[in-house]
Structure 1
Amino acid sequence: MPSPIAINPVSPSHSIFKKMSKSPTNLPASAASYLSAVSQADAHARARSLATTVTPTTTPPLSMSSSVTVFSDDNVLREGEPKMFDNDDGLSYPPIPPTSEQVFTTVHSEFGHCANEEYRFTSQHPPGKPVPHHKELDPPYYILLSTYISYMILICLGHLRDFFGKRLKPSAYTHLLPHNGYAPLNSDFDSFYTRRLKLRIDDCFSTPVTGVPGRTIICYDRETQDYNANLHTTGRRTRGLNISSYNYLGFAQARGGCADAVAEVISRYGVSCCGARLEGGSLDLHQTAERLIAQFVGQEDSIISSMGFATNSTIIPALVGKGCLIISDEFNHASIRFGVRLSGASVRTFKHNSMKSFENLLREVISQGQPKTHRPWKKILVIVEGLYSMEGSIVDLPKVLELKKKYKFFLFVDEAHSIGAMGAHGRGVAEYYGIDPRSIDILMGTFTKSFGAAGGYVAGKKNLMDHIRVRGHSGPYAEAMSPPVLTQVMASMASIMGVAPEPPKSANGTSSNTLIPYPGPAPAHMLPNWFDLPPSLKDGTEGLIRLRRLAFNARYLSRGLKKLGFITYGSDDSPIVPLMLFNPGKMCAFSRMMKQRATPIFTVVVAYPATPLVTSRVRFCLSAAHTKDDVDLILKACDEIGDWLDLKQGVGERWSLQEIMDRAVELVHMDID
């Protein structure tokens, strides 16, 4: 019987991402052999064509037709043969062999090849200019009305089904009714949204993946016979363009300098901490990483945690307690809210990124003091995020610091999404605004986004970090981060910073351990002596290219969508671009239509309760791994689907899709009020 809901039942036959029926058996054994073959082929071609060779500047679009070149025994790419190669998993990807002017050390399916220097931008707020306040546009009234009506129909029909179902088919509702003397674990109210809305679009969430979530991603195809109550894999896999991962700098790679460093540390330390040398209760590698992180963010000291969520939820209680006040942005992450509840401190929230609301609240809480007693607060801690993941908005940090000097509170900035993704050197929102990071009391961040690893950190003054080591829950109770994860953090961070050469030795034969001023490169003595990155990573060249590619991709997609007529939220410099869908029925339609294109595109759709009821959206997560052609592909898909779903409700001047693609560089660099 055919599936009631067809979920990508057949991969498009003309997609280059389709699983190859038979993969070549004599592929290059490593990236080194691939580059060697490229170098020989380039020399061979140049000897024959001399100056007639034209250097390609970008990678062909993902939708180009596929053909497979089988490597010969000498691993030399023959001139005139089709320039398409298979990855070792049998899935094709279309790199053009680079010439000597553009040698790529990355696998194209994981990190896109792009040598055109015009497709670069620097993530930095223009000095002297006021921070723009992005006004969130409202859709036409008929969009809001239809959205509310959709929810009303959903709720009414859902309750009718529950009413009759419990009486006519009680076996299907045993988990919601008292059974064998036990109370139900789930109440009707708690599970209603999950059963009546999320279940219907569950194929858009939690898609099982395999392989590296880089520029492309491989997902298992699924189908259902019972309207998403159960989803079963079909045995087929689909590779598509990945616009759904927080892989901001593209360090989620299986090959390259960072992966080589991880392989080296496994041979030295093992996968776990067991049997490794300890110093002061922790691995020497942990202490090395903490020093490097402090240097990276421009603080005196740092503490690492094995889990990003736990970094906030276990450290906030060590900072404040009863008699203290926490002032929090209304859109702060759940980990912050959880940590606030554990602390026992009072909490007040202000309107998202509204400095007027923030200052009014400050005046009120300072003048009124603690509830009932009206005594002064022991401590006031303000918690904001550098980049808000659901909104794509950037905190107005200059104004927050201005109010900090005026009202004397402590500032905690969560840079989970901004660290490594913003600023000319990737140092986060403080560098983005040109602000001294030491004017912020506590900087928090995670390694799960830009660094392609796991865990998190807090950084600040050394005496404060020593206090958190003793009083924070993550120190005595949490697991230590494993050496491979630590090495991935240090390798990717050092690649962003660059590594300074070892300073000359003094007369007594010792090297100087003087720190390099922020935001300079990583001093060589801060890295393990066995740590050896490739030259392009060690000198910081590749890290800078990744930062500038990410900044270009983010501005290009955000501004391109606006010129097409869509309503988007957040800053143009944010690597997260929320495109508003509003109606809940359009979430599943948008997600499925993107996956069913000739070149599948995997996206993230978000709805209530993660967002307000009527502001359902799709979040595009840009990466340095994407090329300009990839963003063109996304814009083309959005342009077509937007017409079908009536999503173009924005205001302002509109451009055609072709004009946007042709004037991409101009669009990214122009001043837009």
Structure 2
Amino acid sequence: MFKKKSTPALNTAASYLSAVSEADARARAHGSTPSSTPALSLSSSVTSSSEDTVLHEHDEDNAHGLTYPKNPPTSEQIFTTVHTEFGHCANEQYRFTSQHSTDHPIASVLEQDPPYYILLTTYISYILVIAFGHLRDFLGKRFKRAAYRHLLDDNGYAALNSDFDSFYTRRLKLRIDDCFSAPVYGVPGRTIQLLDRYSPDYNKTMVLTGNRTRALNISSYNYLGFAQSTGACTDADVEGIKRYGVSSCGSRLEGGTLDLHVQAEALVARFMGMEDALISSMGFATNSTIIPALVGKGCLVISDELNHASIRVGVRMSGANVRMFKHNNMDSLEKLLREVISQGQPKTHRPWKKILIIVEGLYSMEGTIVKLPAILELKKKYKFYLFVDEAHSVGAMGPHGRGICDYYGINPRDVDVLMGTFTKSFGAAGGYIAGSKALIDRLRIAGYSGAYAEAVAPPVVTQILASMASIMGINSTVEKQVAAPSRSLLRSYDNAPAPIVEFEAYPGRAPATALPPWMPLPQSMCDCSDSQMRLRRLAFNARYLNRALRKLGFITYGHDDSPVVPLLLFNPGKMAVFSRLMRTRATPIVIVVVAYPATPLVTSRVRFCLSASHTKDDIDTVLEACDEIGDLLDLKQAVGERWPLKEIVARAVELVNMPEVA
């Protein structure tokens, strides 16, 4: 049966990992291996929080090393184990390496269009919402003035809200507001607890019932599964809080820089294969405050049309001219480059002071991967600067988890500026900029974030150090002393100079001096076995769900290796139905639905966010739900070969390992 968390034998991450390893060893000795965490079943609504439990082992009656009741376990019994946050999966077949194959050209994502009747009914749906919404506004302002006070002039004051600007929010989003901003409780790991609620007034207000529902979480950017309340990173955070406290100490220029920040920046530079790096306390602000320090008046920014809002804000603040090219379309980019270089600046036609191209490594709304090799070929030809936003690709892609350059096998120093965030793969907060030392020194002075933003809080920096070091692995061997690269000589906790060691070539492990001496990591994290397991599980899950949904007949966007999988719903009414049906299944599933203005009007979608914490059984659960709901909502509109669900589940490994189709 299950024992409570207070069991002294497994009170640390190291002892828990050791217990799991011993359980696997015993299972192999008995001739069988527990392939994964048991599949989830039955809804689990609870009225009070129960302690997480750990699996208790008995050799005599448990050949698999994982003990369950004689009868099939209930959903709540499964969910209250340690695997609620990171599912156990020992089957090595359910692994894949995220890496572009040089044997095949970079495949373009073929975006299929739905049948005309789907588009027609989608437009009709919006027309009906707009027509009846304006009619209700017209009548309401005249016969229910009290309810429309916020949209009317009152006692000489202008209306607080424009009825036209707030129309979409009031007439469409409000109807499906129960699908957004759902309150949650606890760690957003493999599973998550939803706070149950209902609305007595058509979603204008929400009332909490006091109950909580444990659900499978396919909605968080927890790519490597570091969102855990137990584990080596958590232990490091606790120790860091004891030493540094929980709050930041003002901005970087106000003396908020600690030795932790210096160590983190040096480790980020090493992780990305760059000379230097700086970190910021907010991912959005990293782009919006750094881009104005890179370009200004007389410069040109060429931006992918689907770049993130933070990039758009930064470009606007810079005062530089901006042009956009079609998403991931290299022909469109080259044509635009020829035009802007030949024409020069508007009116004067003088040469541009600087041309900066900004792209993303992985586009989170489309699931597409940038064609970086093709852009670098254009860079050699046209001599522009390149800025790559790796918010979603760093840590999640590449055989070593180093991002899009690692995925393609490209030297990261061929890119001028690498930007990323710590909020996804690393389970922390904030962002970074990595580049040459001259560039970073300039950005420390000219960037707004250094002067006006607060320093990253010490617990967050500790999480960054621990998670990044676990991905890299630690080289504990002290090598001969060599000339030190800039900002790579790290100080220890007592500010004494750290021993100088020879770094391994990129993408090698980090030297032991890169971490504070009080931050111990278990052997599985030091030798990269833990990070390789996480990276390969994430790659398998991403490829499996992408290809399986297409085989079921759904229209999806994105590359096969993307951990973000958009499934097209088109009709706005289907967003709410899809979300509610997923949430009310026997095994509740939490998803993200996305609509206009985040997407084009007729391409509403559900966006699955995969994690290394998910097991193959979890993906099967999602596929089963999608298969049933897809038939109900008439969502299977893709053209091509289809497989039945049973065949997809049985041939999952074969499906994942099929070669790319150009």
Residue 184 of structure 1: CA displacement?
1.4
1:557 and 1:332 mapped to 2: Cα distance?
Answer: 25
Instruction: Report the secondary structure of 2:568's partner residue.
Output: strand
Task: Give, in whole Å, the separation in 1 of the partners of 2:307 and 2:524.
Answer: 37
Letter in 2 for 1:61: A
Residue ranges of structure 1 left out of the alignment (5+ in a row): 1-22, 97-105
Q: Secondary structure at the match of 1:349?
A: strand
One-letter amino acid matched to 1:627: T
C-alpha separation in 1, matches of 2:22 and 2:307: 55
Q: What is the CA distance between 1:456 and its match in structure 2?
A: 0.2
Question: Out of 18, 38, 51, which is 1:60 matched to?
Answer: 38
The letter of the residue matching 1:604 is V
**Correspondence 1:189 to 2:164:** yes
Distance (whole Å) between structure 1 residues aligned to residue 343 and residue 18 of structure 2: 72
**Aligned mate of 2:416, from 438, 441, 446:** 441
Q: String of CA shifts for 1:346-365, please: whole Å, max 9, x gaps.
A: 11111111111111111111
Q: Tell me if the contact between 2:57 and 2:67 (Cα under 8 Å) persists in the aligned partners.
A: no
**In 2: Cα distance, 1:631 partner to 1:173 partner:** 46
Q: Deviations over 1:642-671 (max 9, x none)?
A: 000000000111001000000000000012
Partners of 1:442 and 1:506 in 2: CA distance: 30
Displacement of 1:60 after TM fit? 1.5
C-alpha offsets along residues 401-455 of structure 1, whole Å, 9 cap, x if unaligned? 1111111110000000000000000000111111100000000000000000000
Instruction: State the SS of the aligned residue for 2:164.
Output: helix
- Per the alignment, residue 605 of structure 2 pairs with 617
Instruction: Give the CA deviation at 1:53.
Output: 5.9
Structure 2 counterpart of 1:634 = 622
Write the letter of the residue equivalent to 2:516.
P
Other-structure match for 1:103: none
Contact 1:559–1:668 (CA under 8 A) maintained in structure 2? yes
Aligned counterpart in structure 2 of residue 331 of structure 1, from 302, 306, 327:
306
Equivalents in 2 of 1:345, 1:33: separation in Å?
A: 52
CA shift digits 1:144-195 (9 cap, x unpaired)? 0000000000000000000000000011111111112211121111100000
1:32 to partner: Cα distance: 3.4
Q: Give the direction of change, closer, same or farther, for the CA distance of 1:187–1:44 in structure 2 (3 Å limit).
A: closer
Distance 1:531 1:152, change over 3 A: same
Other-structure match for 1:259? 234
- Alpha-carbon separation, structure 1, partners of 2:372 and 2:465: 27
2:328 aligned counterpart, secondary structure? coil
For residues 262-411 of structure 1, what are the structure 2 equivalents within 5 Å? 262-274=237-249, 282-411=257-386
Residue pair 2:554, 2:568 contacting (<8 A) in 1 also: yes
**C-alpha distance in structure 1 between counterparts of 2:431 and 2:274, whole Å:** 15
Residue 572 and residue 276 in structure 1: after superposition, are their counterparts in 2 closer, same or farther (change >3 A)? closer
TM-score by length of 2: 0.90
Q: Kindly indicate whether residue 155 of structure 2 is the aligned counterpart of residue 155 of structure 1.
A: no
- Is 1:243 matched with 2:218? yes
Check the 8 A contact 1:581/1:617 in 2, yes or no. Answer: yes
CA distance 1:431–1:672, shift in 2 (3 Å):
closer
| Distance across 2 between alignment mates of 1:622 and 1:650 | 22
Matched, 1:141 2:116: yes
Cα drift, residue 622 of structure 1: 0.4
SS at match of 1:190: coil
Query: Is the CA contact (8 Å cut-off) linking 1:41 and 1:77 kept in structure 2?
Result: no
Measure the CA separation in 1 of the matches of 2:91 and 2:268.
32
CA gap 1:52/1:196 in 2 versus in 1, 3 angstroms: same
Q: Distance in 2 between matches of 1:630 and 1:44?
A: 22
Question: Using the alignment, how far apart are the partners of 1:434 and 1:356 within structure 2?
Answer: 23
Partner residue of 1:562 out of 550, 566, 569: 550
| 1:203-230, Cα deviation, whole Å (9 max, x unpaired) | 0000000100000000101101111011
Alignment partners' CA distance in 1, 2:204 and 2:354: 50
Kept after mapping to 1: 8 A contact 2:43/2:588: no
| Offset, 1:524 | 1.0
Q: Pick from 231, 234, 247 the counterpart of residue 206 of structure 2.
A: 231
Letter in 1 for 2:275: E
Q: Would the aligned equivalents of 2:390 and 2:419 in 1 still touch at CA under 8 Å?
A: yes
Task: State the partner residue of 1:596.
Answer: 584
| Amino acid aligned to 2:544 | Y
User: Does 1:124 pair with 2:99?
Assistant: yes
**Matching residue within 538, 552, 558 for 2:540:** 552
Give the whole-Å Cα distance in 2 for the aligned partners of 1:304 and 1:159: 48
**Partner residue, 1:17:** none
- Write the deviation string for residues 578-599 of structure 1: whole angstroms up to 9, x where unpaired: 0000000000000000001000
CA distance in 2, matches of 1:277, 1:458: 15
Query: Aligned in 2, Cα 1:64/1:31: closer, same or farther, shift over 3 Å?
Result: farther
Q: 1:273 to 1:150 in 2, by over 3 A?
A: closer
Mapped to 1, the partners of 2:52 and 2:108 lie a distance apart of 55
Measure how far apart 1:245 and its partner are.
Answer: 0.2
Give the secondary structure class of the aligned counterpart of 1:571.
coil
Kept in 1, the 8 Å contact 2:252–2:450? The answer is: no
Residues 459-506 of structure 1: per-residue CA shift (max 9 Å, x gap): 000000000000000001000001100010110001111001131466
Find the counterpart in structure 2 of residue 32 from structure 1.
Answer: 11
CA contact (8 A) 1:124 1:433 kept: yes
Distance 1:189 1:54 in 2: 64
The alignment's TM-score, normalised by the length of structure 1, stands at: 0.89
Kept in 1, the 8 Å contact 2:42–2:587? The answer is no
The answer for the alignment partner of 1:83 in structure 2 is 67
Which shows bigger deviation, 163-172 or 25-34? 25-34
1:192 maps to amino acid: F
- Residue aligning to 1:474: 449
Change (3 A) 1:463 1:281: farther
Describe the shift of the 1:590–1:29 C-alpha distance in structure 2 as closer, same or farther (beyond 3 A): farther
Matches within 5 A, 1:421-432: 421-432=396-407
Helix, strand or coil at the partner of 1:459: strand
Distance 2:522 2:103 in 1: 38
8 A Cα contact 2:290 2:449, kept in partner: yes
- When residues 75 and 404 of structure 1 are mapped into structure 2, their CA distance, relative to the original with a 3 A threshold, is closer
| Alignment-mate amino acid for residue 578 of structure 2 | F
After superposing the two structures, state which structure 1 stretch, 210-219 or 53-62, moved more: 53-62
Structure 2 equivalent of residue 536 of structure 1: 524
Counterpart among 396, 399, 416 of residue 391 in structure 2: 416
Aligned partner of residue 508 in structure 2, secondary structure: coil
- The letter for the 1-side match of 2:232 is G
SS class of match (2:341): helix
Percent of aligned pairs sharing the same letter? 66
Give 3-state SS (helix, strand or coil) of 2:640's partner. coil
Which residue in the other structure is 2:512 paired with?
Answer: 524
Does the aligned pair in 2 maintain the 1:415–1:443 contact within 8 Å?
Answer: yes
Question: How many residue pairs get matched?
Answer: 633
Secondary structure of residue in 1 paired with 2:146: helix
1:134–1:472 CA distance, 2 compared to 1 (3 A) = same
- Pick closer, same or farther for the CA change 1:277–1:410 going to 2, 3 Å: closer
The amino acid of 1:581's aligned partner reads L
Report if aligned partners of 1:28, 1:34 keep a CA contact under 8 Å in 2.
no
Q: Report the Cα distance in structure 2 between the residues aligned to 1:564 and 1:210, rounded to whole angstroms.
A: 33
**1:63: Cα distance to partner?**
1.2
Q: Secondary structure at the match of 2:147?
A: helix
In the TM superposition, residue 527 of structure 1 has moved relative to its aligned partner by 1.3
Alignment of 1:454-493 (within 5 A): 454-493=429-468
Aligned pair in 2 of structure 1 residues 95, 229: CA closer, same or farther (>3 Å)? closer
Structure 1 SS opposite 2:211: strand
The one-letter amino acid of 1:568's match is T
Shift in Å, 1:640: 0.2
